[in-house]
Amino acid sequence: MSTAESSLEVTSDSVLQEVGRRSSWFLAFGVVMVALGTFVLGWSCLATVTVAATWVFGFLMLGSGLLSIINAFSAVPGRGVFVHLLIGVLYTVTGFMIIDAPGESALLLTKIFSIFLIVGGIFRILSALLERFPGWGWVVLNGAITLTLGLLIYKQWPASGLWFIGMAVAVDMIFNGWTWIMLALGAKQLSKVKTA
């Protein structure tokens, strides 16, 4: 075994031991994420979560726009300064608009997302049917589910604009929580195997 291979093995063992030591923190974080996601999903007012998530998105766009404007002035002259400045202004204005009217922005974002799902589902189905690559049936199923979800959201719009983003945030929290839980359990199991 070469020196590089042995040092790599020592490094991976130390990383594994460190992850194993912190697995209880990962587990606790995962449980909290699942609990919060379940609470949000079961909450009678997903509209509040939807508006809050849209509002946060507006602040993120505003921050990105301001950073792009600063970057445009700090860039080398003649190297896309005007493009960076335009993008920064666009992000900043859009961020202000979303922050100013998060409810209406949530409705608009939901409609755009439903159209994105519909078009994405159609493209997946068509490409799988035309190409017939290995596993194409799963891609058709994925496209059909995506298309159906997009149609359901679009069909219920504008009412879906009040709950969809909040539901998506809650489901994402639950799945992220379960990912942390599985990571913690797997790390604990691996560290036991390595020490045995």
Q: Tell me: the pLDDT tens digits for 72-108?
A: 777 656 666 777 788 888 888 888 888 888 878 888 8
Q: How far apart are the first and last CA of the chain?
A: 22
Say how far apart CA 128 and CA 143 lie, in whole Å: 9
Q: What is the pTM of this model?
A: 0.59
| pLDDT tens-place string over residues 153-192 | 888 887 777 777 777 777 888 888 888 888 777 777 766 6
On the question of pLDDT at 128 being above 70, the answer is yes
Containing H/E element for 166? Answer: helix 160-195
Say how far apart CA 145 and CA 30 lie, in whole Å: 28
Tokens of 172: 């994402």
DSSP 76: P
